[in-house]
Structure 1
Amino acid sequence: MKDMLTHNDWIMHAKATRSLGLRALNQGDAQAAATFFSAARRMEQMAEQEGVLPMEHPRAPITLRR
């Protein structure tokens, strides 16, 4: 069994984490949302290290920039 996560694993975790961030934002908890979004960005960076950029993945989360 492989111990390390694949790029697909990182992308799926990032997408789920971003979803938690959106939920927190909708509930008015901006600090928690920022924490979730930051974690999702780190997961996307881990996916990049595994050889696939997040935007190349068909189910990649949409990155919101302000």
Structure 2
Amino acid sequence: MKTIVVLVAADGTSRVETHGFVGDECRIASRFLEKALGRTTSEELTAEFHQVSTQENAHLYQGE
């Protein structure tokens, strides 16, 4: 299941976490939140980011 979690600390700092997204889907899905919350100070990419979706994989296979 794809989810986006927004954590806001008592000091006002915020963190956006995405779960269940593959590849760049997470950046696309959370872009509106990052713009609304302001400047991005750091980014931590998970193993899910580096995966290729099965849809992309099938497309690459068909193109060969």
With normalisation by structure 2, the TM-score equals: 0.31
More helix by share: 1
With normalisation by structure 1, the TM-score equals: 0.31
Larger Rg over CA atoms: 2
More strand by share: 2
